[in-house]
Amino acid sequence: MEEEVLDKAVFMYLKKKGFTQTEQIFQQEQQSKNKNSSSSINATDVSLSDPDLAKQILTFSQSESIPALYHDGYSKLRSWTYSSLDLYKHELLRVLYPVFIHCFMDLIAKGHLQEARTFFNSFREDHEMMHSRDLTKLEGVLSPSHLEEMEFAHSLRQSKVNIKICQYSYELLLQYLHKTQSITMLGIINEHINFQVSPGQPSSISDDAEAFSLVGSGQDAANLINQKEIHWGVSQSCSLLLEDSLEERLDKAGGLLSDSEKTEGDAKEGDLDENKKKSTEGGKQGGPLKKLKKDKVAGAAGKGARGEGEKASAAPRVKPELTLPTIPTDVEHSILEDLRNRVQLSNSTLPSVSFYTFINTHNGLNCSSISHDGSLVAGGFSDSSLKGHSGPVYSASFSPLGDFLLSSSSDSTIRLWSTKFNANIVCYKGHNYPVWDVQFSPFGHYFASASHDRTVRIWSMDRIQPLRILAGHLSDVDCVQWHMNCNYIATGSSDKTVRLWDVQSGECIRIFIGHRSMILSLAMSPDGRYMASGDEDGTIMMWDVSNGRCVTPLVGHTSCVWSLAFSCEGSLLASGSADSTVKLWDVNTSAKMPKSEETSGNTNRLRSLKTLPTKSTPVYAL
């Protein structure tokens, strides 16, 4: 009787996997055995001589039809993991989440819907803190067809999870699986988890965020995309504005300064040349080579400060692919005056803070924006306070010169307002769902919007239809940020990735993977080399735009990071959070840390210069 059960199990397995030729050979052996049972020896005869092999075959076949094996197998693996030694427990716990979600999806795929729901609810609480958004999405999977229709679930089933683990933890897991003969758990682990085994001691618990990532189709595609060439330098127009001599710029502007002011400009330029020579000879000067700053009004990019003992190449000049508006002569003159009067910021010269508070909002404030010269502040409210919108306002963005304001809303529209006349000028329609974010380009005229429909759209002020539609994210696109040279747009999504898009072609050219929750804020460094992203858990990551790699995580906030902003020379990063604090970070120390510290997991590299707490007010904009 047991022999017949084994034969049937083997036959069903071959049929399911599509091994037609092997199935036919097996059938012929069975027919031959029936004719002459005494002289024929088949595969199941061999398996009967090995009880362990026969048990594994039966267990494997039963796992296809008995949903209880998933619940029991995962429950035992969970109990064993939590009872492991503390030294290795945090590494072994990384295995539970991918096993959990794939057990659930396997049960759904095999039609055991009620059992899948029971399994999901039984163990969901274990992963609620780290993966709450993922679980909310998977909760909507109610039938096998949903696994194909829902892109998030389909992506999980087609990809592997990459888990970093030490050699001894890996051996402990193998011993457990071999000892318990848990075929179901072993099959899921083999199919969906790729272990990166490292010699030596277990990694630090603080490295958990970097020890868990998607591989397979998702990571391979990201690695392939991240090999594409990218021109991260500042645009020619703004680099000229920042780097040409003051006298030359003023001559081009039409000789707007007097002879005495030109003399002052010559003196300033001479000081700059002298500082540059000293910095080059000494090699240990902490300040930048030049003191000219990025001007926020024009969206131009300044020189990033150099790290100690390291010489960094200047940002190359890049031709902007968009037709950018020309800057009027009087505006250029005001920009130059602003550059001359600015104080250089560094880790020893921190900025002062002017904090604007909306009072009596009763949790109705959704967003805020400050004009580049600091003279205007806009707030978007749940009651759609900006006349024209028919739903909550989720984002507001001032143009570089402050003469226009963009707003986006749950009514799926974007509206352009005149700050001079306090009136709505244009209504842009194109998105099908709420628009979470809208941002002007650094030079104005163009803007980008991010929506619940998982797309980003590029617009120009003079057209009511979008110029580009950027699609590729697997979930809501929550924030958008322009690169300083206007050739690229960065987007952050609820799918926990950041993407960089080519404005001209609409192609995704970088995928940044590493966050554990939805991305809520983005910021580009003035020289275009680095990007910062903040997520729902309070983690900030600094990325190298050129290769798509995470330079360092910045840990310190305890809640959502709503806003990020670089200082004009790029030496400081400010972050505003729902934990009611503003933090200042030393970008030079964080972005130029030694590789020895990067691999050791030393959190001392995460240099927070200052924390500025409010009484109880979340920080929405910087």
Domain for residue 521, yes or no? yes
Secondary structure string (H, E, C) spanning 422-489: CEEEEEEECCCCCEEEEEECCCCCEEEEEECCCEEEEEECCCCCCCEEEECCCCCEEEEEECCCCCEE
Check: CB of residue 447 under 8 Å from CB of residue 404. no
Binning pLDDT at 50, 70 and 90, where does residue 289 land? very low
90 and 197 share one domain: yes
Rounded CA separation 506/498 (Å): 15
193 and 267 share one domain: no
Report DSSP letters for 570-590, one per residue: SSEEEEEETTSEEEEEEHHHH
Domain for residue 437, yes or no? no
Last residue of a domain, one of 302, 323, 341: 341
Rounded CA separation 303/234 (Å): 10
323 and 174 share one domain: no
Domain for residue 464, yes or no? no
218 and 83 share one domain: yes
SS3 state at 330: helix
For residue range 139-196, list pLDDT tens digits in order: 888 888 888 888 778 878 877 788 888 989 888 988 888 888 777 888 788 778 888 8
**Residue for token pair 């048990």:** 55
Rounded CA separation 8/37 (Å): 17
SS3 state at 540: strand
Q: What is the pTM of this model?
A: 0.59
Q: What is the mean pLDDT of residues 5-30?
A: 68
Check: CB of residue 121 under 8 Å from CB of residue 88. no
Q: What is the mean pLDDT of residues 429-440?
A: 91
Last residue of a domain, one of 10, 34, 63: 63
Binning pLDDT at 50, 70 and 90, where does residue 316 land? low
Instruction: Give pairs for 601-606: CB < 8 Å, separation 24+.
Output: 601/203, 601/204, 601/206, 601/207, 603/206, 603/555, 605/552, 606/552, 606/553, 606/554, 606/555, 606/556
32 and 86 share one domain: no
Rounded CA separation 607/554 (Å): 8
- Spatial CA neighbour of 398 closest among 427, 370, 374, 358: 370
85 and 6 share one domain: no
- CATH code, domain carrying 100: 1.25.40.500
Domain for residue 427, yes or no? no
- Chain-centre distance for alpha carbon 435: 19
- CATH code, domain carrying 528: 2.130.10.10
DSSP-based helix, strand, coil % in the chain, nearest 5: 40, 25, 40
Domain for residue 576, yes or no? yes
17 and 89 share one domain: no
213 and 311 share one domain: no
116 and 220 share one domain: yes
Domain for residue 114, yes or no? yes
pLDDT of the residue at 247: 42
pLDDT over 50 (residue 309): no
Least reliable range by pLDDT among 56-60, 196-200, 507-511, 568-572: 56-60
**Residue for token pair 């795929």:** 109
112 and 170 share one domain: yes
Rounded CA separation 433/332 (Å): 39
116 and 214 share one domain: yes
Rounded CA separation 229/510 (Å): 10
Last residue of a domain, one of 63, 82, 98: 63
Binning pLDDT at 50, 70 and 90, where does residue 111 land? confident
pLDDT over 50 (residue 392): yes
109 and 178 share one domain: yes
- Structure token pair of residue 104: 């659930």
Contacts of 379 (CB under 8 A, 6+ apart): 358, 361, 365, 367, 368, 385, 396
Number of domains the chain contains: 4
Domain for residue 171, yes or no? yes
Residues belonging to the chain: 622
Contacts of 364 (CB under 8 A, 6+ apart): 381, 382, 383
Domain for residue 110, yes or no? yes
Angle between helices 329-341 and 236-243 (to 10 degrees): 50
Print the domain residue range for 278: 236-341
For residue range 212-268, list pLDDT tens digits in order: 555 444 556 677 777 777 766 665 554 433 344 334 444 444 444 444 444 444 444
pLDDT over 50 (residue 39): no
- Spatial CA neighbour of 88 closest among 203, 213, 182, 199: 203
- Other residues' Cβ atoms within 10 Å of the Cβ of residue 568: 24
Check: CB of residue 227 under 8 Å from CB of residue 546. no
